[in-house]
Structure 1
Amino acid sequence: MPFEDFQITDINSETLRAAIAEAITTDLALQPELTVISRASSFQLSPNAPLTSVFARLQANFVVTGSLRSDGNNATATINLIEAKDESCVWVGTIDFHIREVLSMTRAISRRVANLVGAKAIDLAQNRIDLGEVSAVLIENAARSRMMHFQSKDAWLVNLYEQDIALERYSDSAWGHFGQALALRVGLDEGWILEGRAAAAAKAEQFVATALKLVPDNYLTQYALARTLAGKGEMIAAKEVFEKAARLNPASTLVLSGLIGQHLYLGETGMALKIIEDSERINPLHNYDLSHKKAWAYWLSGDVDAARDVLMTCPALNEGQSKLHAAVLMDLGEKDKARQVLKPFLEENPDWTTGMEEQLQSELWAPGEARPRWLSRLSGAGMPS
């Protein structure tokens, strides 16, 4: 909906409001999970129109509304996301910027809104499935939401099962193919697939090839391809494909996180931190994976205090983060705490050894000083040889 004008001075109000609306509509439309009503249609309605009539006329699940104000120098944009079913406000955000930054901030506003709306649509997928609305895209969205919120082996096993259902029922849909490819890559990268790793990697590659034939310009297809290339050790090619996925959907912190990982692998820590900074502007609430990558970047650069600070902001550490936390504590000379942090992982994986960890990390990291340092810290924290 058109944003309301709350005392915009020294700048053309109609131009500014139209520019922000166009940017938001464009970034939302880049997400194939969503069907977005055009600005030309939504702007036919008054920003003061009752929400009941807006939802009835547009048949939308969500409406983005907002307001703008400025004093000629500083400006504030307030954005609201309203859900149709009960007209509740599910998110409110405020962005302050200098009026000279209006062009760059227009893009920042639109990407933050697109990231939020896309995440909300993904999170609601399981509810829609539970109500009887099933499709390959909903199954993939539900699986992605599950891993974003509860990254665990149990959640991953559910995803594998559900993606098989999508492949069986909707064989001509790309969503099941790249969804299962991503599920297999997660299992390989997290160390949850220990036997038949080569066969699992080959299956993931086959699924990606089919998805590419069906929807080559879907950002998640490109993301799955990048993950597959990285798993094969083709890191430069993987980075280029991650960059293409980011161009297809610049509001996706999932894709940006993958690109960050490639820069870390290639030793480009400064560039990784720059993309992390951009990602945090898009998603100021962060997420587990992005926080993990940020802590990795600091640890790899030797700033273990900063790495610990990032990890301490995570409400609960998953397996990968607990290993990193243990390594950070070892670097800080806190061996007893490191052993305590790593203990739950070792109890959950009693057969895990530094040899298995080395095999896993050899597929994820470039050779260099980082890997032996990593293995040494985990050994010191109690991981058996």
Structure 2
Amino acid sequence: MSRKAPEIDPKSAETIAFGGFVFLTRFNELRTVEGKAIDLRSQSAEVLSVLAARPGEIVSKDALMQAVWPDTFVTDDSLTQCIADIRRALADDAHAIVETLPRRGYRLNAHPSDATDLNAAAVMGRAKTRRGVILTAIVLVAAAIGTYYGAEAWRATPVRSDDMPRIAILPFDDMSAGADKGYLSDAVAEGIITELARSKTYAVIARNSSFRYRGKPTDTRQIGDELGVDYLLEGSQQKIGDRLKVTAQLLSAHDGSHVWANTYNREIGDLFVVQEEIIRTLAERVGRRIERPLPQSGSARVSALHYHLMGIAEIRENFSAARNELFRQMELKAIEEDPNSQFGYIGLAWSYRNDAMFGWNEQDRDEALNRAAEYADEAIVLGPDDAEAHNIRASIHTEAGEVEQALAQFDQAIALNPSNSDILVRSTDLLLYVGRTDEAIDRIRQAMGIDPFYPDDFNWQMGWALWEKNDCGAALAAMRKMSTIPIGAHRMLAGIQACLGNKREAKEALAVFLQNTPSESISKERREWGKIWTAPGSLDRWIEHMRFAGLPE
């Protein structure tokens, strides 16, 4: 964001009144009409100041972020927190004062009539101003000035105007009992997310963000505001022996009303058919249609998915050599259950790719990559429309230094599942290696947009991208947005501190990284990355910064 605050900050009137409160723009202070000060964080006060400059008008998210954070990279989450802070201060549980207009922005509902009964003298006296104007006139002036600057200074930030419905699929409750509980994990909800995103008729929020609400009461309006969606799908799944019961309901995120609900009671092998029926019904209810054949189903395929998901759960819990081997055993069971489904082959490809990346199981790197490639290719044959099959193949191409093949596979994976924010961010590794930095930054921001509660490693990736642009101050700010900077990220942190000339901080960060990787060296990094990090001068610059931070030759 390159625009400076003075270029876009409108000159508002000194006082705006709304809902029993007064905001004094000169001091960025919120008070009651009696003059009592209300605590508000400084950034929240700045957001309120921008809204107060345009009372009754819609202010886009982009405009708010450019005004409050003109030279700092932030995500929508920062703005969402400020809006929530303002609403708490105003006791605006109904969102009547600060209104959300989905996909458009926010509006402060302040009108000249709000000022009729205000004690202007008390308010202005507590604010220690010397102006003796009538508060009603001030509000009218604010409205006029807001209108003027709304037509001029804010013209550069248009309101988003696409009409594609936005939907969030919440995690389905598992009502199963005993050994059946957790059998399918989040398979139903994840399958619906993938299929709806693939249809290109919905903007689907990524699972990282929608699954954040697991186990929490469904406050439809709050979730809708936080995720910026039009619809929510919630439901439950229950496995009883060989039977599967799925209940789903579609809610309007604007008012919580029910759009559609249904219950499916089927054989366990009908899992994929049930998913497809839910998707088609959603398409009709929201005003679109999806026309394609019903998917292949059957109990063996569902069992294969079950073992695949169990393997993924193991490796996610503890990313280690031992867990990678357990992951591999689960994927072999998936293939044994159904050798004609892609799930086990995807998992095996990841397991051998992990061996190659981290030197696990004493396997030769090239041999491990070759085995990974064979399993990934088989997965693509069996599941050509599965984004994860193309994702793992792209990662293997990356590690093999096959740049063009990797980029093509990542593009295919993204086309098949546009809601998968992890694939979007993973694909930027190669973009950065080959110097397509602006494109990488766009993809990271796109991933953050479909995944409002995105994981910390997205900030890590943004830090690298901004380092590539030599914007190292912004890169450091991005890294500091992580709740905890993991050990692996300290190498990137060291490079950024070196870029800024901070020798002590660079050495300290690199020392943290080397705790787990004591054999790292300049020659090793040049050898491993020389084949794929081809952006002109980029690897040499990185090596220079690593030397500055104290990495041994």
Q: Secondary structure at the match of 1:351?
A: coil
Q: Deviations over 1:265-292 (max 9, x none)?
A: 2211111111122111101122233222
* Counterpart residue number, 2:323: 158
State the one-letter code of the partner of 1:231.
Answer: E
* Counterpart residue number, 1:264: 432
Question: For residues 77 and 253 of structure 1, do their structure 2 counterparts lie closer, same or farther at Cα, with a shift above 3 Å needed?
Answer: closer
* Counterpart residue number, 1:73: none
* Counterpart residue number, 2:471: 303
* Counterpart residue number, 1:340: 508
Q: Contact (CA 8 Å) 2:324, 2:351: kept in 1 or not?
A: yes
1 or 2, which has the higher helix percentage? 1
* Counterpart residue number, 1:116: none
Q: Contact (CA 8 Å) 1:63, 1:81: kept in 2 or not?
A: no
* Counterpart residue number, 1:356: 524
Q: How much has 1:145 moved relative to structure 2?
A: 5.9
Question: For residues 310 and 348 of structure 1, do their structure 2 counterparts lie closer, same or farther at Cα, with a shift above 3 Å needed?
Answer: same
Give me the whole-angstrom Cα distance separating, in 2, the residues matched to 1:252 and 1:216.
17
State the one-letter code of the partner of 2:191.
Answer: L
State the one-letter code of the partner of 1:324.
Answer: M
Q: Contact (CA 8 Å) 1:189, 1:360: kept in 2 or not?
A: no
Of 339, 344, 359, 1:176 maps to 344
Q: Secondary structure at the match of 1:350?
A: coil
**Fraction of identical pairs, as percent:** 22
Of 395, 400, 404, 1:232 maps to 400
Q: Contact (CA 8 Å) 1:64, 1:81: kept in 2 or not?
A: no
Q: Contact (CA 8 Å) 2:397, 2:406: kept in 1 or not?
A: yes
* Counterpart residue number, 2:364: 196
Give me the whole-angstrom Cα distance separating, in 1, the residues matched to 2:498 and 2:313.
33
* Counterpart residue number, 1:34: 191
Q: How much has 1:363 moved relative to structure 2?
A: 4.8
Q: Secondary structure at the match of 2:515?
A: helix
Give me the whole-angstrom Cα distance separating, in 1, the residues matched to 2:190 and 2:347.
13
Q: Contact (CA 8 Å) 1:264, 1:297: kept in 2 or not?
A: yes
* Counterpart residue number, 1:113: none
TM-score by length of structure 1 reads: 0.64
Give me the whole-angstrom Cα distance separating, in 2, the residues matched to 1:187 and 1:363.
20
Q: Contact (CA 8 Å) 2:311, 2:331: kept in 1 or not?
A: no
State the one-letter code of the partner of 1:20.
Answer: P
State the one-letter code of the partner of 2:434.
Answer: L
1:281 aligns with 2:449: yes
* Counterpart residue number, 1:185: 353
Q: How much has 1:358 moved relative to structure 2?
A: 2.0
* Counterpart residue number, 2:413: 245
1:137 aligns with 2:294: no
Give me the whole-angstrom Cα distance separating, in 2, the residues matched to 1:375 and 1:157.
33
Structure ID, larger Rg: 2
Q: How much has 1:349 moved relative to structure 2?
A: 2.2
Q: How much has 1:83 moved relative to structure 2?
A: 5.9
Question: For residues 206 and 336 of structure 1, do their structure 2 counterparts lie closer, same or farther at Cα, with a shift above 3 Å needed?
Answer: same
> Where does 1:9-48 land on structure 2 (aligned, <5 Å)?
20=165, 33-34=190-191
Q: Contact (CA 8 Å) 1:338, 1:381: kept in 2 or not?
A: yes
> Where does 1:302-321 land on structure 2 (aligned, <5 Å)?
302-321=470-489
Of 343, 361, 366, 2:534 maps to 366
Q: Contact (CA 8 Å) 1:190, 1:320: kept in 2 or not?
A: no
> RCO greater where, 1 or 2, for CA within 8 Å and sep 6 or more?
1
* Counterpart residue number, 1:102: none
Q: How much has 1:195 moved relative to structure 2?
A: 5.8
Give me the whole-angstrom Cα distance separating, in 2, the residues matched to 1:220 and 1:62.
29
Alignment gaps of 5+ in structure 1: 1-5, 10-17, 40-60, 69-75, 87-91, 96-109, 111-133
Q: Contact (CA 8 Å) 1:208, 1:221: kept in 2 or not?
A: yes
Q: How much has 1:351 moved relative to structure 2?
A: 2.2
Deviates more, 1:239-248 or 1:316-325: 316-325
Q: Secondary structure at the match of 1:297?
A: helix
Question: For residues 361 and 309 of structure 1, do their structure 2 counterparts lie closer, same or farther at Cα, with a shift above 3 Å needed?
Answer: same
Give me the whole-angstrom Cα distance separating, in 1, the residues matched to 2:217 and 2:414.
25
Q: How much has 1:245 moved relative to structure 2?
A: 0.9
Q: Secondary structure at the match of 1:348?
A: coil
Give me the whole-angstrom Cα distance separating, in 2, the residues matched to 1:301 and 1:291.
15
Give me the whole-angstrom Cα distance separating, in 1, the residues matched to 2:342 and 2:435.
34
Of 482, 490, 493, 1:325 maps to 493
TM-score by length of structure 2 reads: 0.46
Give me the whole-angstrom Cα distance separating, in 2, the residues matched to 1:228 and 1:300.
23
Q: How much has 1:313 moved relative to structure 2?
A: 1.2
Give me the whole-angstrom Cα distance separating, in 1, the residues matched to 2:382 and 2:217.
31
Give me the whole-angstrom Cα distance separating, in 2, the residues matched to 1:176 and 1:66.
37
Q: How much has 1:224 moved relative to structure 2?
A: 1.2
Alignment gaps of 5+ in structure 2: 1-95, 102-162, 173-186, 197-214, 223-227, 239-250, 255-278, 280-301
State the one-letter code of the partner of 2:507.
Answer: R
Q: Deviations over 1:45-79 (max 9, x none)?
A: xxxxxxxxxxxxxxxx99999569xxxxxxx7566
Q: Contact (CA 8 Å) 1:62, 1:84: kept in 2 or not?
A: no
Q: Secondary structure at the match of 2:536?
A: coil
Give me the whole-angstrom Cα distance separating, in 1, the residues matched to 2:387 and 2:532.
22
